Structure 1
Amino acid sequence: MVVDVERVGVCGTDMELFSGEMSYLHTGASTYPLRPGHEWCGTVTAVGTGVDESWTGRRVTGDTMIGCGHCRRCRQGRHWVCEQRYELGIRDGLPGALAEQVAVPADYLHALPDTVDPTLGAMVEPGGNALRCVEAAQLSPGERLLVLGTGTIGLLVAMFARAGGAQVHLIGRGETDLELPRSLGFDRCWTRDTRPDLPWDGVVDASTGAEMPPFALDRVEPGRRVVYIGLSVSPSAIDTRDLVLKDVTAVGILGASAGLDGAIEAYANGSVDPRPLVAATVTLDEIVDVFAGRRPPGGAPKVHADPRSSR
């Protein structure tokens, strides 16, 4: 499929690809030149041989993880951990959506309803990651979830958890990091020094600090779940004795694949609205400044580009 891109988001992975810090660049999974962009939406304008023509004209987003389709993991429905997978705009093989058009295999497209506007459409991929985190925590309504990190994923986790009835607490690095979540109605926002001493029925680590994974494990209730999605540049470590003696389940989240449909549904019905997380929408020319660290003003964590505005 060829898709005319309406909107594309820039995330931490894209920034690390630009700076050279991304781990895939050091393992050889990614090499320059590359075109980033894996949070996107657009309209199908051309289909390949054997593809249903009814896709033409439909608004879509797509899965970042493109499996080989025939290995054991793909056959079991776990294509996002296929050893030979492409990651659109991240690993070598498929250029990303930070362009006027992007080519995506038809099997990995997800249709968008009319109620999902371009901003929401480009937030489906991070939303799918966040939804997977919430589902992995296995909370019941009214139980407490501690979210470490107030970036895009941390705040999306908080939104999906709140929509599911959880009591959400967030920890940021300082008071400045807590201003946006408080403006979004999260009144249980803390720093590590001010957090209350409460039992946490689940913890999601969406931070990038190497010291946070053991902090998360230390705070979760025995017999419950800690979910890791944040990645630090330097290696982090947990004491597996704590994991075993507390009977804690640790879950790692890679990719939004299994959460994309749920994110689309939540955005379409209005139970989750991530649009306040987008600080600005810029042109493709202006996105270079964002990669260089010159962000638009405002406290929201996400920046989008509209390729159509550069024409």
Structure 2
Amino acid sequence: MNSLLCLVRYAMRAVVNNDGIRTVDVPEPEGDGVRLSVVSAGICGTDVGFAAAGVSGFVYGHEFAGIDDEGQGWFVEPTIYGGECAQCRVGSTQRCTEEVHGNLGVFSDGGMAERVRVPEYTLLSLPDGLDVRDACLIEPAAVAWHAVRRAQARPAERLLVLGGGSIGLLAAAAAQAAGHDVDVEARYPHQRRAAEELGCGEPGGEYDVVIDAAGSRSSLGSAAAAARPGGRVVSTGVYPEDEPVPGIVSLTKELTFVHSIAYGRHDGVREVEEAARMLAERPEVPATLITHRFPLDAAAEAFRVAADRASGAIKVVIEPARPHSGSPTRQRMTPSGEL
């Protein structure tokens, strides 16, 4: 009986892929690091792809935030790095070449769990004005922020974002924070409405910078077509196969293609910190992008909604713990799923 009580005492709930997304009992996290109770964990397109492919063996979730034992809120930057290689020394921790390099929630246990233990260096304290329930959005916001920095857009240049998902809309918000007007090409009506709510225009004409946040087989071609001669295309998509650069149009326009992955540091500043500040200064961004919230035990349904791009979902969030009582499981959605 004592052994059984011990097992129950040290079990918690977490999201894994075991012949489908399931919420199961797993051991409490042990070892070094800071213990957090997870408050919010976003479902990324990578998570949806992993689930569809049957990728298993770890707790899902690389977009998450929580509170420590004293009740302070933290975002967790999921990049694990060594800090000694040449890439780390210049701030590109996302390109770490050391053996320890990896990501929490990507082939190692992540944040879709009641509790986690994470290295102290991954923690970012939340700026005033950003609720821990929304702070999981910092991770994709930092991806978008990094892409805009990679674009090196100059004043008065025209910017277009292809894709009205969370990365695309966050890239638009990051471009606006940098002082640019930006248009968004969105596939679904609810994405178009969200872009309008954030003050983005509709596509038209040619652009100095095109950010491809769609990552589809046709999006690079669309980006090249929309770019002006001498323009730049920034790709944030994860392409499952080799994607040919559109040859003739890219050649005749002399386009520059730039790839962007994750986020790092520049001039000693963490890009996740800049992204967090942007979200705190523009509360309408998380309010617009986070369309669904589900409790931990409803993870299977949360993944189903996130995978259905016509469902009205932009960012679906799982909430293992709720510091505010009475919070709804969905935000801005009617029972029918319509905005």
TM-score range, shorter chain: 0.7 to 0.9
Structure 1 residue 99 displacement after superposition: 0.5
The structure 1 residue matched to 2:68, chosen from 44, 52, 72, is 44
Distance 1:174 1:289 in 2: 21
| Partner Cα separation in structure 2 for residue 16 and residue 298 of structure 1 | 17
Which whole-Å CA distance do the structure 2 matches of 1:119 and 1:158 have between them? 22
Does 2:252 correspond to 1:276? no
TM-score calculated relative to the size of structure 1: 0.81
Distance 1:115 1:294, change over 3 A: closer
In 1, are the aligned partners of 2:39 and 2:67 still within 8 Å (CA)? yes
Residue 287 of structure 1 aligns with which residue? 299
Query: SS at the partner of 2:159?
Result: strand
2:133 aligned counterpart, secondary structure? helix
| TM-score, scaled to structure 2 | 0.75
Alpha-carbon shift at residue 61 of structure 1 (Å) = 0.8
Shift of 1:117: 0.3
Partner of 1:89: 105
SS at match of 1:268: helix
After superposition, the Cα gap between the structure-2 partners of 1:254 and 1:10, relative to the gap in structure 1 and judged at 3 Å, is: same
Does the CA contact (< 8 Å) of 1:156 and 1:274 recur in 2? no
Give the alignment partner of residue 154 of structure 2, picking from 135, 140, 148.
140
Contact 1:126 1:256 survives alignment (8 Å): no
Find the counterpart in structure 2 of residue 199 from structure 1: 206
Counterpart Cα distance in 1 of 2:156 and 2:133: 30
CA contact (8 A) 2:306 2:316 kept: no
Kept after mapping to 2: 8 A contact 1:210/1:235: no
* Identity fraction in percent: 30
Structure 2 counterpart of 1:228: 235
Equivalent in 26, 32, 41 of residue 8 of structure 1: 41
* 1:209-248 Cα deviation digits (max 9, x unpaired): 1111132133222333211002244432104665565443
The CA distance in 2 between the partners of 1:164 and 1:275, in whole Å, is: 21
CA offsets, 1:182-223, max 9 Å, x none?
A: 34433x22xxxxx53x23011000003111113213322233
- Give the paired residue count: 283
Deviation at 1:253, TM superposition (A): 1.4
Deviation at 1:67, TM superposition (A): 1.0
Tell me the SS of whatever aligns to 2:210.
strand
Give the 5 Å matches for 1:163-174: 163-173=177-187
CA–CA distance in structure 2, aligned partners of residues 124 and 131 of structure 1? 10
- Deviation of 1:68 after TM superposition, in Å, equals 2.4
Aligned equivalents of 2:312, 2:194: Cα separation in 1: 7
Distance (Å, rounded) in 2 between the aligned partners of 1:173 and 1:233: 20
Q: Using a 3 Å threshold, how does the CA distance of structure 1 residues 111 and 250 change in structure 2: closer, same or farther?
A: same
**Structure 1 residue 67 corresponds to structure 2 residue 81:** yes
Contact 2:48 2:307 in 1 (8 A): no
Gap change, CA 1:235 and 1:177, over 3 Å in 2 = farther
Q: Secondary structure at the match of 1:304?
A: strand
| Greater radius of gyration (CA) | 2
Alpha-carbon separation, structure 2, partners of 1:152 and 1:143: 23
| CA 294–140 in structure 1, closer or farther in 2 if over 3 Å, else same | closer
Task: State the Cα distance separating 1:155 from its structure 2 match.
Answer: 0.7
* Contact in 2 for aligned 1:225/1:248 (Cα 8 Å): yes
1:263 to 252, 272, 275: 275
Distance 1:290 1:255, change over 3 A: same
Which of the residues 294, 315, 334 maps onto 1:302? 315
Gaps in structure 2 of 5+ consecutive residues: 1-33, 266-270, 324-339
**Cα displacement (A) at 1:294:** 7.3
SS of corresponding position for 1:287: helix
Give the Cα separation in 1 of the matches to 2:91 and 2:173: 27
Q: CA deviation at 1:113?
A: 2.4
C-alpha RMSD of matched pairs (Å): 2.7
What are the ranges of 5 or more consecutive residues in structure 1 without an aligned counterpart?
A: 26-31, 46-55, 190-194
CA gap 1:214/1:115 in 2 versus in 1, 3 angstroms: same
Contact 2:126 2:132 in 1 (8 A): no
Mean Cα displacement is larger for which, 219-228 or 116-125?
Answer: 219-228
